[in-house]
């Protein structure tokens, strides 16, 4: 007699189905199926891209965030550094390139590993009080830099002969419409296209025929001058290269992109590539202005037209036009990234729904913050007689002054977060 009970219910179904032969569920390409009364022809999946195209498709938040650092303020600061001190600050950029790459990779890793933004982690580690303080720092710093982007849009348009009272409102409306009515994928692609304008500077750096021995000396022999102008620009270079909004946007975009642990490899490549690409463009700006303006004895840059002279070796009489295109593209890119980074930061700090993909009803606070930064930044940029380049450089110096406190909070808020293999972050190498 068999003492085993007969399988019933779900147990019986499981015992039967496990013995059935496996049937392929793949439908042949070209077959027509009826879905809700509509006859639809099945198409085959696209082939997985290979080679260079595959690597280009990886690029996203890392390249966008780091390239946004070469904004109007960045162009003004690097151009001023090259014009005033030649190649003496290149060594700083090399050191910052390593630090920048490590920092951006860390943000990408935290975003993919935790699925949470930077201000989320700071709130978890320090509580709401310190989080409010960080939000205030971010709003002050980002507000100033957002203003500089619209000042840059106005300066670029005036090189084309278009009044800033026309170009700044149009630029603000364009950026607002792009983000409010676009999906993240579309916005990301447009931002990536904007980064192409930076290639003018490496070309100008080579065609300016700099003294490459002096460039090498400036790169590998550290020089510090205890001069107020040198220290001022040194802090400005620090502030414009590693700024809070770049890390906030990088990590929040990785989260919104839906990156998880299995996507960490591509995100790491994106972060490293973006950091190196961005700083190579920055170094090219210093070399280009050092080889032209510094050598010619023009050490002060007070307008966009002065900075455009660095591109004369490659563009000749069209230097102003080429510079205007680059400045406009850089300002538009950062003019969208900065308000977005601020909206991400405030939303994360208070646990508010966030993201470009949200509809306006669910993301009304997120989009309201974004809109407020656009409107205020564009409005202040329209004030008459604004000293453009001194203002741009001064804002970067402010970011550099606020950087140490922000970094202290960032490092200690992240150091206890587990990574992919169960270890926690260590920051003793920074």
* Paired tokens of 68: 């946004």
Question: CB of 117 within 8 A of CB of 348?
Answer: yes
Q: Residue 240 has which token pair?
A: 């414009």
Range name among 47-56, 286-295, 392-401 with the lowest pLDDT average: 47-56
Helix (H) or strand (E) holding 34: strand 32-35
Q: What is the pLDDT of residue 93?
A: 93
CA distance 278 to 23: 52
Q: What is the pLDDT of residue 257?
A: 72
pLDDT confidence band for 213 (50 / 70 / 90): very high
Residue 286 CA to residue 211 CA, distance in Å, equals: 13
pLDDT of residue 44: 47
- Residue tagged 């729904």 (tokens): 353
Please compute, for residue 430, the number of CA atoms within 13 A of its CA located in the half-sphere on the CB side.
17
Which residue has better confidence, 170 or 16? Answer: 170
The CATH number of the structural domain formed by 62-414 is 1.20.1740.10
Question: Residue 127, Cβ neighbours under 10 Å: how many?
Answer: 10
pLDDT at residue number 299: 79
Q: How confident is the model at residue 255 (pLDDT cuts 50, 70, 90)?
A: confident
Nearest-CA neighbor of 344 among 153, 172, 185, 111?
111
Is 378 or 52 the better-scoring residue by pLDDT? 378
- DSSP 8-state class, residue 49: P
Average pLDDT for 194-205 = 75
Which pLDDT score is estimated for 102?
86
Question: Residue 191: pLDDT band by 50, 70, 90 thresholds?
Answer: low
**Average pLDDT of the residues in 276-298:** 87
Distance CA 235, CA 395 (A): 11
Among 33-42, 55-64, 165-174, 180-189, the least confident range: 33-42
Supply the pLDDT for residue 10: 43
Average pLDDT over residues 235-246: 84
pLDDT at 414 (0 to 100): 58
Between 92 and 17, the higher pLDDT residue: 92
What's the rounded mean pLDDT across residues 254-274? 75
- Rounded to an integer, what is the distance from CA 128 to the centroid of its chain? 26
Tokens 């999906």 locate to: 183
Residue 60: predicted pLDDT: 65
Residues 361-419 have pLDDT tens digits of 888 899 999 999 999 999 988 988 767 667 777 777 877 777 777 777 667 655 555 44
Does residue 220 register a pLDDT over 80? yes
CB 310 within 8 A of CB 79: yes
Asked if pLDDT for residue 186 goes beyond 80, the answer is no
pLDDT, one tens digit per residue, over 131-148 is 888 888 888 888 888 888
Which of 19, 49, 68, 84 is CA-nearest to residue 286?
Answer: 84
Q: Which pLDDT does position 35 carry in this prediction?
A: 54
pTM: 0.74
- pLDDT beyond 90 at 36: no
What integer pLDDT is reported at residue 22 of this predicted model?
A: 45
Q: Packing angle between helix 228-241 and helix 72-85, nearest 10 degrees?
A: 150
Task: Provide the CA 334 distance to its chain's centre, in angstroms.
Answer: 8
Average pLDDT over the chain, rounded to an integer: 76
Structure tokens at 195: 């980064």
Q: Got the DSSP string for 112-138?
A: HHH---HHHHHHHHH-HHHHHHHHHHH
pLDDT tens-digit readout, 315-367: 676 777 778 887 888 888 888 888 988 998 899 888 888 887 787 788 889 99
Q: CA 154, CA 428: separation in Å to the nearest integer?
A: 43
- CA-CA-CA-CA torsion for 370, 371, 372, 376, nearest 10 degrees? 110
- Distance between CA atoms of residues 72 and 158, nearest Å: 14
Q: What is the pLDDT of residue 167?
A: 93
Buried b (16+ CB within 10 A) or exposed e, 173-194: eebbebbeeeebeebbeebbeb
Least confident of 106-115, 296-305, 309-318, 356-365: 309-318
Q: Which of 1-15, 55-69, 163-177 has the highest mean pLDDT?
A: 163-177
What pLDDT score does 173 carry?
94
Task: Locate 196 and state its tokens.
Answer: 């192409």
Selection from 315, 95, 289 nearest residue 210 by Cα: 289
Percent of residues, the chain, with pLDDT higher than 90 = 12
């Amino acid at each position: 007699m068999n003492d085993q009970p007969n399988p019933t219910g779900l147990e019986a179904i499981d015992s039967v189905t496990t013995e059935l032969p496996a049937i392929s569920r793949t439908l042949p390409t070209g077959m027509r199926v009826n879905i809700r009364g509509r006859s639809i022809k099945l198409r085959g999946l696209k082939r997985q891209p290979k080679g260079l195209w595959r690597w280009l498709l990886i690029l996203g938040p890392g390249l966008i965030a780091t390239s946004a650092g070469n904004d109007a303020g960045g162009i003004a600061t690097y151009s001023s550094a090259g014009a005033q001190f030649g190649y003496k600050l290149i060594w700083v950029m090399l050191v910052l390139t390593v630090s920048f790459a490590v920092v951006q990779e860390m943000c990408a890793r935290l975003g993919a590993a935790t699925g949470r933004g930077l201000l989320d982690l700071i709130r978890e580690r320090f509580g709401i009080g310190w989080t409010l303080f960080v939000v205030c720092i971010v709003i002050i710093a980002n507000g100033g830099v957002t203003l500089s982007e619209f000042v840059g849009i106005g300066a670029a348009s005036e090189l084309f002969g278009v009044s800033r009272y026309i170009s700044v409102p149009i630029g603000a409306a364009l950026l607002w419409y792009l983000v409010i009515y676009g999906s993240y994928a579309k916005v990301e692609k447009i931002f990536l296209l904007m980064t192409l304008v930076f290639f003018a500077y490496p070309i100008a750096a080579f065609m300016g025929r700099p003294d490459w021995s002096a460039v090498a000396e400036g790169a590998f022999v550290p020089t510090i001058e205890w001069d107020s102008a040198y220290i001022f620009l040194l802090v400005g270079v620090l502030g414009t290269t590693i700024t809070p909004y770049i890390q906030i946007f990088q990590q929040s975009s990785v989260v919104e992109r839906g990156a998880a642990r299995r996507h960490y490899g591509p995100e790491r490549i994106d972060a490293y590539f973006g950091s190196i690409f961005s700083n190579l463009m920055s170094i090219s700006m210093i070399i280009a202005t050092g080889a032209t303006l510094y050598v010619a004895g023009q050490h002060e840059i007070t307008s966009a037209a002065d900075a455009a002279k660095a591109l004369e070796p490659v563009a000749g009489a069209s230097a102003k036009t080429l510079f205007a295109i680059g400045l406009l593209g850089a300002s538009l890119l950062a003019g969208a990234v900065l308000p977005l980074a601020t909206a991400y930061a405030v939303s994360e700090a208070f646990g508010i729904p966030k993201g470009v993909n949200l509809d306006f009803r669910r993301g009304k606070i997120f989009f309201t913050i974004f809109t407020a930064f656009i409107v205020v930044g564009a409005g202040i940029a329209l004030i008459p007689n604004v000293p453009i380049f001194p203002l741009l450089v001064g804002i970067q110096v402010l970011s550099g002054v606020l950087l140490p406190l922000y970094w202290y909070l960032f490092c200690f808020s992240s150091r206890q977060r587990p990574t992919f293999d169960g270890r926690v972050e260590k920051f003793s190498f920074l």
